[in-house]
Chains A and B, each alone.
Chain A
């Protein structure tokens, strides 16, 4: 079930350069959303420019509603960041499939490896929360170009999550790519139950390659430009070994092994 809702903005604040966090009051979404799903947001009512909604991954799921963590990247998010607490916002969701956590249902002392690049941390944060509730050990790898874009690590620590950091310019954590530190970790700890990744495609592709090499199941988010978000326009096509799938409806989370990485 998905709905169009007019929900109240409870908070919309800057958390780092170009990064914002918006809390939306919508108990129905709080109850019905899963980590890995997304909302399609109309940044301004009745406007024809921007025309389309923008898809944003659900960052936190709580009883009173959901949160979105977004980076300002274009005209849509530029308007979104100017929206104020107390205003109503038009949201459509929850959309997409979300992460599949069935692998953890019967295992004790399981470990999950989560890998985020840039604001790819947005959906992985709610996943980490959910996994901790299931008593799964979480090793969280987060990377960005610079230390100022490494976010949410304190809150992850509070969840009891082990955080590993890499930055391309070396201003925080290890200098290099996040996938470098994932690779090193896997040498020492080769048997996590599953890997989850969200970030730029070269990063998720590298994670998929590591997972394949180690014989571990990986779930990655795979986005394409989309218009409707509900499977009608067939814009967000993803080529897989099982034929063409849609990022909005069949994804955005896919088993890494079925994606035809190019």
Chain B
């Protein structure tokens, strides 16, 4: 079975990756899963400076969903390079580092810091975390503004030769136009979707359930909407897509690839079952066999309509 996927200059052993923020820096999962067999580990988002994150409660369950407002808690890019990068580099999984910033300059500085022996296989530019605010933009999220999206991506592109993935928010009228802007800025791929801005309420206590009041929704609840976002971008923009949103099984992987994803990221499932990615990979291989397909890449965009 040929599971290899090529995106830009990088070849991945399989199309099933971990989603940023759901897999730590990989090490937390070593008791449960053979990390060498993960297609890629997308590390939790790092920022230029340390961030302490949002007030608790930071996570709450909703029907078939997980609502979170972590707020990009991390110790900053320099600490990440020292403490997390060596372990990530040691695994055979491709190492992808997710970066975020409050300003364009912070994205650029972060990307610059990830060079030389700290250069990852790819950088994922997180323009879409719903749990942080940034200065000076006309929208709450950079990825709600095609102009800002293109500007940040092209600025990062000038400072790194790493493969660039741009992670988008589904909370827009026309996600294809933002994906197009990312492509024009020089992105090698787009990753969609980030969590849906959402909230949950305790009617008895008459209070929000999250400390930050609002957060981002992930998990099986969002899968049908995420599939639609992938389908929309696949049909309108010539750029590889990494599908994300509620993937729990090998069949879910196939659904995203049929809609046009070249690879997928598994997120919330890692919290339910830390070994889920190896199970999902096995289920996906079984699906391909059943469909008499020899190559995973043959599935991309093959939805019969």
Interface set of A (CB-CB < 8 Å, partner B): 1-4, 42, 48-53, 92, 224-228, 230-237, 244
> Please, which residues of chain A bring their CB within 8 A of the CB of B59?
225-227, 233, 235-236
Contact of A232 among B61, B270, B273 (CB under 8 A): B270
In this assembly, does B68 line the interface, its C-beta being within 8 Å of a C-beta of chain A? yes
> Please, which residues of chain A bring their CB within 8 A of the CB of B32?
2-4
> Please, which residues of chain B bring their CB within 8 A of the CB of A244?
52-53, 73
Alpha-carbon distance A233/B195, docked complex (angstroms)? 14
Alpha-carbon distance A232/B273, docked complex (angstroms)? 12
> Please, which residues of chain A bring their CB within 8 A of the CB of B219?
48, 51
Contact B220 A51, beta carbon cutoff 8 Å: yes
Least Cβ–Cβ distance between B34 and chain A, in angstroms: 14
Contact B272 A52, beta carbon cutoff 8 Å: yes
Contact A228 B21, beta carbon cutoff 8 Å: no
In the complex, residue of chain A having the shortest beta-carbon distance to the beta carbon of B63: A49
Alpha-carbon distance A244/B58, docked complex (angstroms)? 13
A236 and B272 in contact, given A1-B31, A49-B64, A52-B66 (Cβ under 8 angstroms): no
In the complex, residue of chain B having the shortest beta-carbon distance to the beta carbon of A52: B61
> Please, which residues of chain A bring their CB within 8 A of the CB of B31?
1-3
Least Cβ–Cβ distance between B35 and chain A, in angstroms: 13
> Please, which residues of chain A bring their CB within 8 A of the CB of B22?
228, 232-233
Alpha-carbon distance A225/B44, docked complex (angstroms)? 19
Contact A51 B64, beta carbon cutoff 8 Å: yes
Contact with A along B39-65 (1 / 0, CB 8 A): 000001000000011001111110111
What are 30 A-B contacts defined by CB distance under 8 Å? A4-B32, A4-B273, A48-B220, A51-B219, A51-B272, A92-B274, A224-B56, A225-B56, A225-B60, A227-B66, A227-B268, A227-B271, A228-B28, A228-B271, A230-B28, A232-B270, A232-B271, A233-B22, A233-B68, A234-B53, A234-B70, A234-B73, A235-B58, A235-B59, A235-B70, A237-B56, A237-B58, A237-B73, A244-B53, A244-B73
Contact B68 A235, beta carbon cutoff 8 Å: yes
> Please, which residues of chain B bring their CB within 8 A of the CB of A237?
53, 56, 58, 73
Contact A233 B271, beta carbon cutoff 8 Å: yes
Alpha-carbon distance A51/B274, docked complex (angstroms)? 13
> Please, which residues of chain B bring their CB within 8 A of the CB of A52?
61, 66, 271-272
> Please, which residues of chain A bring their CB within 8 A of the CB of B68?
227, 233, 235
> Please, which residues of chain A bring their CB within 8 A of the CB of B23?
232
Least Cβ–Cβ distance between A81 and chain B, in angstroms: 18
Total interface residues on B, CB under 8 Å, equals 34
In the complex, residue of chain B having the shortest beta-carbon distance to the beta carbon of A225: B57
Alpha-carbon distance A228/B21, docked complex (angstroms)? 11
A228 and B275 in contact, given A52-B61, A233-B21, A237-B56 (Cβ under 8 angstroms): no
Least Cβ–Cβ distance between A188 and chain B, in angstroms: 38
Least Cβ–Cβ distance between A123 and chain B, in angstroms: 21
Alpha-carbon distance A230/B22, docked complex (angstroms)? 11
Least Cβ–Cβ distance between B237 and chain A, in angstroms: 31
Contact A233 B70, beta carbon cutoff 8 Å: yes
> Please, which residues of chain A bring their CB within 8 A of the CB of B248?
48
In the complex, residue of chain B having the shortest beta-carbon distance to the beta carbon of A76: B61
In this assembly, does B24 line the interface, its C-beta being within 8 Å of a C-beta of chain A? yes
Contact B52 A230, beta carbon cutoff 8 Å: no
Least Cβ–Cβ distance between B122 and chain A, in angstroms: 20
Least Cβ–Cβ distance between A170 and chain B, in angstroms: 27
In this assembly, does B29 line the interface, its C-beta being within 8 Å of a C-beta of chain A? yes
Alpha-carbon distance A52/B68, docked complex (angstroms)? 13
Alpha-carbon distance A3/B31, docked complex (angstroms)? 7
Contact with A along B48-92 (1 / 0, CB 8 A): 000011001111110111101010010000000000000000000
Contact with A along B161-189 (1 / 0, CB 8 A): 00000000000000000000000000000
Alpha-carbon distance A234/B52, docked complex (angstroms)? 11
> Please, which residues of chain A bring their CB within 8 A of the CB of B70?
233-235
